[in-house]
Amino acid sequence: MKHISYLLILFFTVSIFSQENDDVIEPDFIKTIVLKSTKVNSYTPIIALGSSFIFSFDDLNAEQLDYYYKIEHYTYDWKLSDLSSREYINGYEEDRIRDYENSFNTLQFFTHYSVVFPNKNTRITKSGNYKISVIDEDDEILFTRRFVLYESIVDIGVSVHRSRDIATINEKQSVQFVINHPNLLINNPKEEIKTVLLQNNDWNTAITNLTPQFYRGFQMLYKYTDKMNFWAGNEFHYFDSKSVRNSSVTIARVDSGPELYHTMLYTNIERIDKPYTNYPDINGNFVIRNVNSDNDALDADYTWIFFTLESLEDIGTKKIYVNGSFNNWRNDESNEMIYNPETRLYEAEILLKQGFYNYQYVTVDKNDTVSNHDIDGSFYQTENDYSVLVYYHKFGSRYDRVIGFGKGNSEKIQN
């Protein structure tokens, strides 16, 4: 990612939260990275301090190598904090990943690594932003992932509304929230409080650096009508590859490739000029599963997923990508759609583990501006998750504490 001058950072609040900023991207042989709470139906790496969460990944080299994890504390804007590891960890900040096992009865061999926190060697004691790095035997960082630990010190009420701008009233959603802090005295909210607003837990589109508009007793009100708007996008596409033997409503067929199965999805058609249609999704997330297994982590196989898109939209020099939580919302050569003049379709093939996946088509222009609505349109009725993180840096403190996490959904959108 390009380095941005300090002056530009002051104006473009989203840039400092880009997922690719100083992150180490996993190599091709590392797949299916999961970092989430162990609670059922939890998908995102925003976790209550002290509760259990799991970190796991697959190594397609299947050599049972020794890998190590390292956990580091970060500031609100993802810079290394001034805390030493002993100030935020009881135990070790770096340790070997001891739980690993080879796949069973799969065409693609892999070693599955996992570690659950807290554990007897590592217990995180402070809330905040964190990065976990995976380090190989040569002491090289293989890849990194971000996560957030929060405390429930304040309550946050989140509501979703239609845009107040007549030009985008049918395409955008506006978020408002209230922070209630009856048990916390905040002397200077504009300096001590920072907030992050997320749509579907995608940090690349985070809205930050908002200050309260109003104060009412022990409440801070964020009621902006212009600064907290998101393109609503459309419901995510999906497929379920839990079985490699059957087709489905989204899978046209499954072929036996030279080494691995090839899962051919039905061609997606652009929806920008189609009427909005509501159908359930999990807002960009994925779940690993295999219909014939009791141990999805080891028995779910890898298949090549073939995506095809028919689009007549004039996107100029923009590039099209297929993304979602499965690739950490990243856009690069691995998920770029390439136009095939013979089929007149955009095509991409991605190696994914069996499971249920949500995905979307986005465009990226030469300025790295991402659009989730060029292909599939944007409709205010779209069901999206919205999350608010509240950071507290008390005067004289040495780190940014996450004192609250609030959630809202546009299913109950307000006019």
pLDDT at 8: 40
For residue range 136-159, what is the model confidence (pLDDT) as tens digits? 999 999 999 999 999 999 999 999
pLDDT at 245: 82
The residues, ordered by sequence, that sit 6+ positions from 192 with a Cβ below 8 Å of its Cβ are: 186, 392, 393, 394, 395
The residues, ordered by sequence, that sit 6+ positions from 159 with a Cβ below 8 Å of its Cβ are: 175, 176, 177, 408, 414
pLDDT at 145: 98
The residues of the chain scoring below 70 in pLDDT are 1-21
Distance CA 230, CA 201 (A): 13
Q: Which domains does the chain have, with CATH numbers?
A: 6-150 (2.60.40.10), 155-232+381-412 (2.60.40), 237-371 (2.60.40)
DSSP-derived letter for residue 211 is -
DSSP 339-379: EETTTTEEEEEEEEESEEEEEEEEEE-TT--EESSTTT---
Which among 48, 323, 45, 331 has a CA at the least distance from the CA of 198?
Answer: 45
pLDDT at 9: 38
Residue with token string 């609250």 = 404
The residues, ordered by sequence, that sit 6+ positions from 303 with a Cβ below 8 Å of its Cβ are: 241, 244, 254, 260, 261, 262, 263, 351, 352, 354
The residues, ordered by sequence, that sit 6+ positions from 140 with a Cβ below 8 Å of its Cβ are: none
pLDDT at 21: 57
* Residue 37 phi, psi (nearest 5): -65, 155
Prediction pTM value? 0.92
pLDDT at 105: 92
Which among 198, 149, 216 has a CA at the least distance from the CA of 407?
Answer: 198
Distance CA 361, CA 335 (A): 10
Q: Note whether 376 and 158 are within 8 A (CB).
A: no
